């Protein structure tokens, strides 16, 4: 269920961004999607049997999504799967490196690279994935609110504050020990992102 919510709200967000930028409600609904994707990357990393295969799978999804992403939004930057892939690498590094100071430096360095290369959500995306690693319950929600406050100060966008709604839902689901296992065909979850961007790009081109 959670994955379907992420896909549907992301689709609504991207339709709003490309075709109806004046309808802010569509962008508000879209804020629900990214925290769910960030959470599923952490959950996927935590439970995967083969982390190397998981890393490569995200890498190739990022690669095949890049052209549809640029065509759909008509600008050059790196799509959000690159952000999630980078966060996955940081999660692996945090577990492999014995030194906590070195781990912190790796995370900071990765965040700077993500900002410099213009990955979608950038360092914010990395920090959100790390929040799901280190916090849960009310503390998770509170820290996410603080992170969104910093985002507001840096980027002057209040829309991201609505993303806390997704984190509240995740915290409640964790409290009730809900199952986060993927239900339905896995290929839909994996390839919905590049597929829907390609369709949006074609409609935009035809229009």
pLDDT in tens for each of the 207 residues of the chain? 888 999 999 999 999 999 999 999 999 999 999 999 999 999 999 999 899 999 999 999 999 999 999 999 998 999 999 999 999 999 999 998 877 788 889 999 999 999 999 999 999 999 999 999 999 999 999 999 999 999 999 888 899 999 999 999 999 999 888 777 766 678 788 899 999 999 999 999 997
Comparing CA positions, the residue from 176, 78, 90, 179 lying closest to residue 126 is: 90
Which 3 state secondary structure label does DSSP give 110?
A: helix
Task: Please report, rounded to a whole number, the percentage of residues in the chain having pLDDT higher than 70.
Answer: 98
pLDDT digits (tens, 9 = 90+) for 50-74: 999 999 999 999 999 999 999 999 9
Q: Which residues of 141-154 are buried (b: 16+ CB within 10 A; e: fewer)?
A: bebbeebbeebeee
pLDDT digits (tens, 9 = 90+) for 136-156: 999 999 999 999 999 999 888
Comparing CA positions, the residue from 107, 97, 69 lying closest to residue 195 is: 69
Q: How far is CA 126 from CA 15, 110, 114, 195, in A?
A: 25, 8, 9, 24
Name residue, tokens 């949006």.
200
What span, in angstroms and rounded, lies between the C-alpha atoms of 172 and 177? Answer: 9
End-to-end CA distance of the chain: 33
């Amino acid at each position: 269920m959670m994955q379907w919510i992420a896909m549907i709200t992301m689709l609504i967000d991207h339709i709003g961004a490309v075709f109806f930028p004046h309808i802010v409600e569509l962008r508000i609904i879209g804020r629900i999607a990214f925290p769910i994707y960030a959470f599923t990357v952490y959950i996927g990393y935590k439970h995967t049997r083969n982390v190397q295969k998981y890393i490569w799978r995200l890498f190739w999804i990022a690669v095949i999504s890049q052209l549809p992403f640029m065509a759909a939004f008509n600008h050059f930057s790196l799509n959000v799967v690159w952000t999630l892939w980078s966060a996955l690498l940081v999660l692996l590094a945090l577990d492999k490196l014995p030194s906590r100071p070195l781990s912190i430096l790796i995370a900071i360095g990765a965040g700077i690279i993500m900002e410099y290369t213009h990955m979608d959500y950038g360092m914010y995306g990395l920090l959100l994935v790390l929040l799901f690693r280190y916090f849960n319950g009310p503390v998770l929600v509170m820290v996410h609110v603080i992170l969104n406050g910093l985002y507001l100060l840096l980027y002057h966008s209040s829309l991201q504050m609505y993303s806390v709604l997704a984190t509240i839902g995740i915290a409640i689901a964790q409290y009730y020990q809900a199952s986060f296992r993927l239900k339905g065909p896995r290929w839909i979850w994996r390839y919905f992102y590049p597929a829907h961007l390609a369709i949006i790009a074609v409609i935009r081109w035809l229009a």
